[in-house]
Amino acid sequence: MSYILIALVITNVYKGFTVGFDQTLLYFGAPALCGLKAASLVSIDDKLAAASEKKLQTLNAELGKNGRGIINVKRCGSRTLFFLYDRKVLQLSLSGKKELAYLAAKNYPVRKGFNAILSELLKRLSFQESFPHEIGIFLGYPLEDVILFEKQKGEGCLYSGMWKVYGNVQESLGKMTLYRNCCMKCNRLFERGMKLTEISRDYNTIGELPESV
């Protein structure tokens, strides 16, 4: 099982209660929806996903105003995989010379631009049984960690958290803490009555929240 998949095998349960489509997306994908992370992958129960098709259209209509989106990628057993992304952050993550060279070596159509690269990833996610190693680049993980994870077959990392770290541990720990705090903050906002689209739009203007009100 890859380090990516470990983060995906989830249930729609939060604090002991079954939660809905919006809150599941927030709990596991808030950093991408709030512009802190290039993308996230979230796996949701098939029945909940199917019942939320119209809601997904509504969410995307609002999220798209800020360059964000949620893509239904494929079914995985009894679950549906969603790709959540911030277009601007994702483009930046893929724009480096080393990142583009890495993707070109993986047969991505880098000369055709961002849209072609993203389409190729989504195609691979849809038709391959396992996650492609390069998915880490799209999720905003450091290139060094992605390359060494594949080269060393997941062994010998310096730290294992949201992903396996082979390079700068302190920098990666800082990002993991940022992402984790974002998820917690977004769910507190949701529980206090804010909509997913409002949280996504206003996240950077909302101050720190007390644990209770």
What was the pLDDT predicted at 18? 53
What was the pLDDT predicted at 124? 94
DSSP 12-40: SEETTEE--HHHHHHHHHHHHHTTSSSEE
pLDDT tens for each residue of the chain, 213 residues long: 344 433 443 444 444 445 789 999 999 999 999 999 999 999 999 999 999 999 999 999 999 999 999 999 987 778 899 999 999 999 999 999 999 999 999 999 999 999 999 999 999 999 888 899 999 999 999 999 999 999 999 999 999 999 999 999 999 999 999 999 999 999 999 999 999 999 999 998 987 765 554
What was the pLDDT predicted at 93? 95
Stated pTM of the model: 0.89
Q: Name the strand (E) or helix (H) holding 50.
A: helix 46-51
Which pair of structure tokens corresponds to residue 72? 């239904």
The full length of the chain comes to 213
